[in-house]
Amino acid sequence: MVSKNILIVDDDDMIIDLFKKGFNRAGYTVRRAQSAEEALAILDKESYPVMFLDLKLPKMDGLELCRIIRKKNPMAIIYAVTGYASRYEFSDCRDAGFDDYFTKPVDLKILFRAALDGFDKIERWNKRKKQESGD
């Protein structure tokens, strides 16, 4: 079974605290990062199957962070969360490798559903992989 670990990357303390409290109550273990660089340092040491990334981050933006994560971990489920929505950004998100895109303010129930769907998808992939390898 995949550990229910989520990484949230956002430079807004209020957003991170809100997401962290909500996901903790929903049964997830949450790690937070306030920059892309901090997130990459965390990901060098720990595994997070599901991630929520803000697009507007200091220095490196969420699009570039997603591209880097996707190269290192193509099986991760990565969601964009932003307060700056436009169709142009949505297409950029898809190109960068995000699995979906949410606009702030977002109902936490929607993010909980996305996380659940993400973990379910990873479980299905892992089961298929085991079946194919004969385990």
Rounded distance, CA 89 to CA 53, Å? Answer: 14
pLDDT in tens, 97-107: 999 999 988 99
pLDDT at residue 88, rounded to an integer: 54
CATH number, position 74 = 3.40.50.2300
Quick one: average pLDDT of 74-91?
83
- Please, what is the Cα angle at 53 between 49 and 58, to 5 degrees? 135
- State the alpha helices, DSSP H only, in the chain: 13-25, 36-45, 62-72, 87-96, 108-133
Confidence check: pLDDT of 84 > 70: yes
How many domains is the chain partitioned into structurally? 1
14 or 130, which is more confident: 14
- Please, which pLDDT band fits residue 90 given cuts at 50, 70 and 90? confident
pLDDT at residue 1, rounded to an integer: 59
Domain that holds residue 15: 5-133
The helix (H) or strand (E) run that includes residue 35 is none
**Contact (CB, 8 A) for 35 and 59:** yes
